[in-house]
Structure 1
Amino acid sequence: MDGSSNCNSDPNPAHIILIPFMAQGHMIPMVDVARLLASSGALVTFITTPVNAARIRPSIDSIENSQRLPVRFVQLPFHSADVGLPAGCENVDLISSPDLFKPFMKALSLFGEQVKLYLTATNPTADCIIFDSMNSWVGAVAESLNIPHIIFHGPSCFYILCAHLLKKHQVLKRIDDDYKLFKVPELPEPVEVMKAQVMSLKDRPEWEKESEEIYKTEKSACGVVMNTFEELEKSSLDKFRKEIGKKVWPIGPLSLANKDLDSKAMRGKASSIDTGLLLSWLDSKAPNSVMFVSFGSLSRNPISQLVQIGQGLESASSSELSFIWVVKEAENSEEVENWLSEFEERTKGMGMVIRGWAPQAMILGHVALGGFMTHCGWNSTFEAIAAGVVMATWPRFGDQFVNERLVVDVLRIGVAVGAKVPIFYVDEMSGEGLVKGEEVRKVVEKVMTIDEEGEERRKRAKELREKARKAMEEGGSSFENLKRVIQFAKGEKKAIGMKL
């Protein structure tokens, strides 16, 4: 979707405020939303904090300097110390212990006061706010200033619908066994899940107050923007629209907003590896011969699990397969680094290890990629769908187990590694919950082998890739929905003004 040529053609463009939740997996798609809205004729203000702005600096520089899009990145102070957080703790992945998550959410609500002051004085006035559903405080701020507000849901519609139906039917309160499989009621494509797999923070008694605030804000919103597209999740989208009785605009895959190689390489944060070196290595590999292994920005494996993954990759690589493995755990662990150095020596020529942040969208788009072992976070899953890459699914927590069911059971473009419980349930001492190296090897070979079953998976993945691209092109479903969001923003603000 490229509207940069006409981004300044409207003399009175809609002014849309974007407020992401401060977690890397939430920031990344919201930056893409900014890029797309600005390319399609809107004036965009992206509100964040100094630490988060520094993290997405490559994307900011690209939008402001290379593409020259009308996006204003506004940095407002985040008062970490006022709630007992360490200085600079402005992102979820900087939270050092679980007991600091509530203070972080408190700091977010205080951040709302800064946002309100800014919006009161901003010029031109805001026509609409699009905000992450986790930022429940936005609803009260928007209503106090008579600004229409739209929720942005980062996860798949399949997951959002599942969560809605589980709450509607009070399913989790009626199930005592965390490990018993059950079907989600009313789901268009029935799948089985466990309570342990779908229980989120919002479902826990100690988070009841915060949960009610989130649900209250969702009800007050004018509509919902989602990172998906009509042709991918039609039945879920249709059902979700009926359930909430609001406008729902799917505008994805948002990752396809990054068209050139540099934009793909810097999606999220600056890469931890020289992209020229990485591309040269990939170019040397045969098509569909490389397995990419990465588990997202928040998930961390204990060293016992890393060893098992390494054993699986090493034994699978002996059958002419190559791999790229992102090991963020090496950044802060001497023990991991020592083991990893030995592993690299043994697999020299077969694999590449990236310590830290990887240019994932760029890697997934390379012709050498044959498979992606993923934690099933929606950003990663959807990047793979947009690139037409088959997946080995290894969910950890949150929406990831439901996304696995979508990939494996509904879309049928993935193979489950075999993880049954969230990573919090894994006992490193006893080994309970660990996925063994032999299981890793088997799923890698199953995904990468081109037999009849594998060929069908690849065919379906390529078909979805083409549908994704068409959705984002002029006249496509996501292209048209994006225009509708902008039109709605302008019209809704006028409607509110007429009522006052």
Structure 2
Amino acid sequence: MDGTSNHNSNSNPAHIILIPFMAQGHMIPMVDMASLLASSGAIVTFITTPVNAARIRPIIDRIENSHHPVRFVQLPFPSADAGLPAGCENIDLISSPDLFKSFMEALSLFGEQVKLYLTTRNPTAVPADCIIFDNMNFWVGAVAESLGIPHITFYGPSCFYILCAHLLKKHQVLKSIDDDYELFKVPEFPEPVEVMKAHVKRWVDRQGWEKLSEEFYNTEKSACGVVMNTFEELEMLGLDKFRKEIGKKVWPIGPVSLANKDLDSKAMRGKASSIDTGLLLSWLDSKAPNSVLFVSFGSLSCNSISQLVQIGQGLEYASSSQLSFLWVVKEADNSEEVENWLSEFEERTKGRGMVIRGWAPQVMILDHVAVGGFMTHCGWNSTMEAIAAGVVMATWPRFADQFVNERLVVDVLRIGVAVGAKVPIFFVDKMSEEALVKGEEVRKVVEKVMTGGEKGEERRKRAKALGEKARKAMEEGGSSIENLKRIIQSAEGENKHLE
């Protein structure tokens, strides 16, 4: 779809290319970013693949019907050339750990498709002024530089995590630590928190990934600036330190989930819901304010049947009969054993609990007045959605940035309670027994988050206050909206170079 935004009086608006990483948690914030940039005056081209476009088809339709100048381009993904099964175009479709590296290598081949599109097949005939790319797309730097297009990194995780990773690499800290579970402080970090080696290792630094690692860091260095799904008021100290460290523009533009203002857009964010939203809202409407715990662990993390049983016990035996729960169990899709246990569990907790099998409209749920707590894997999208909704969290990280995000939520912002998970579980790995969290621990955390006495009330007040700041950041004149405008102004600059 061509055209210009109604909000833009510039006859020559900036044309910004968005290239998300092919994972649901990375696609979602970039779709929101496309809407935000287009409504702020840019022309946007969003590049993805057929399988990923099909997943977000309702969102594509909604954006196209809004007449914002966003073009969705589908380019073929070279699954077969990289030794992947046909249609393996998203990391949640990777069936074994061995295929993860093959998938990452396939991204370089996809980069050739993107370069071809930008040079010979771009139907807009509008030159690209800049590319905003997910930092996992390590190949973008070489493509953008070969075409002379400025490129900006989009970091999906928190600034808290990105700064932590930057400082650890700068000081080579991990080389001197042998114990994966030894607590240590990060040099120069502006917050007094401690982390563990097992929780801060980056996927790109593993053995055998040296070539990909070099490309990854080269692309980070060559980027003109950084965009983040956070806001100035949330991570002020970290953002200030990170800007000084990298010497580049850093634009926080979040929470991007707040781009979805009406009920329909909240309900379809990500992909189509697995439950009728009318039925879901009716159930939530029947519950008292702050009485429902929402339990969801993101699009990638999976629980073993043993862990599901322990979670179920914790939810079932939480002491207050006034507490209800809404639990997303995507594992039911692939296991008869899980489905059989789940059916019995639902019968025992009828009226008090609801189970969603598959994808849930998370933003819509968190925004409901009945929801008073969120048990989460601490993926940054989920964390930001909870912050935007002013909801306290029970934190249960699994891998990547999630353990560091937990430290931000629990130790710095003080709006969460840790379940106590310690052992990382990569999304393609089976959950080990040592990673199991017992039902009694789950029960204790549920009660602390949902009631928790005076400390619980203080947590809830802090969460509500942060929610207010998040909403103000995304209003006209707010810090995030102003940063969006600065990105576009930079792309529209006299020499089309970012300032």
Instruction: Report the TM range for the smaller structure's normalisation.
Output: over 0.9
Worse-matched range after superposition: 217-226 or 199-208: 199-208
Match of 1:116 in 2: 115
Which aligned pairs between 1:37-76 and structure 2 lie closer than 5 A? Answer: 37-65=37-65, 67-76=66-75
Distance of aligned partners of 1:172 and 1:72 in 2 relative to their CA distance in 1, 3 Å threshold? same
Task: Calculate the TM-score normalised by the size of structure 2.
Answer: 0.96
Match of 2:104 in 1: 105
SS at match of 2:391: coil
Distance 2:398 2:94 in 1: 18
Distance 2:495 2:74 in 1: 25
Match of 1:143 in 2: 145
1:420-467 Cα shifts (integer Å, max 9, x gaps): 1112599867x3221110110110011011521111101111110111
Aligned residues: 491
Distance 1:442 1:288 in 2: 17
Match of 1:84 in 2: 83
Matched, 1:16 2:8: no
**Which amino acid in structure 2 is aligned with residue 106 of structure 1?**
E
Distance 2:367 2:452 in 1: 19
Deviation >2 Å, runs of 4+: 4-10, 423-429, 492-496
**Which amino acid in structure 2 is aligned with residue 80 of structure 1?**
S
Worse-matched range after superposition: 211-220 or 32-41: 211-220
Distance 2:229 2:399 in 1: 19
Give the C-alpha shift of residue 190 in structure 1: 2.0
**Which amino acid in structure 1 is aligned with residue 407 of structure 2?**
R
Match of 1:25 in 2: 25
Worse-matched range after superposition: 120-129 or 383-392: 120-129
Match of 2:289 in 1: 287
Contact 1:375 1:393 in 2 (8 A): yes
Instruction: Extract unaligned runs of 5+ from structure 2.
Output: none
**Which amino acid in structure 1 is aligned with residue 293 of structure 2?**
M
Distance 1:351 1:192 in 2: 36
Match of 1:370 in 2: 372
Contact 1:127 1:493 in 2 (8 A): no
Distance 1:247 1:150 in 2: 10
Give the C-alpha shift of residue 304 in structure 1: 0.2
Give the C-alpha shift of residue 263 in structure 1: 0.7
Give the C-alpha shift of residue 218 in structure 1: 0.8
SS at match of 2:45: strand
Contact 2:150 2:497 in 1 (8 A): no
**Which amino acid in structure 1 is aligned with residue 253 of structure 2?**
I
Give the C-alpha shift of residue 172 in structure 1: 1.1
**Which amino acid in structure 2 is aligned with residue 414 of structure 1?**
G
Which aligned pairs between 1:124-273 and structure 2 lie closer than 5 A? Answer: 124-273=126-275
Match of 2:493 in 1: 491
**Which amino acid in structure 1 is aligned with residue 412 of structure 2?**
V
Distance 2:28 2:426 in 1: 25
Give the C-alpha shift of residue 318 in structure 1: 5.2
Give the C-alpha shift of residue 9 in structure 1: 3.0
Distance 1:7 1:47 in 2: 23
Instruction: Extract unaligned runs of 5+ from structure 1.
Output: none
SS at match of 1:432: helix
Which aligned pairs between 1:347-386 and structure 2 lie closer than 5 A? Answer: 347-386=349-388
Contact 2:5 2:41 in 1 (8 A): no
Distance 2:328 2:44 in 1: 33
Contact 2:5 2:38 in 1 (8 A): no
1:460-490 Cα shifts (integer Å, max 9, x gaps): 1111011111111111110110000001112
**Which amino acid in structure 2 is aligned with residue 23 of structure 1?**
A
Q: 2:316 aligns with which of 314, 317, 327?
A: 314
Percent same amino acid at aligned positions?
85
Distance of aligned partners of 1:293 and 1:392 in 2 relative to their CA distance in 1, 3 Å threshold? same
Give the C-alpha shift of residue 495 in structure 1: 4.5
Give the C-alpha shift of residue 206 in structure 1: 1.8
Distance 1:178 1:446 in 2: 29
Distance 1:249 1:492 in 2: 20
Give the C-alpha shift of residue 491 in structure 1: 1.2
Task: Calculate the TM-score normalised by the size of structure 1.
Answer: 0.96
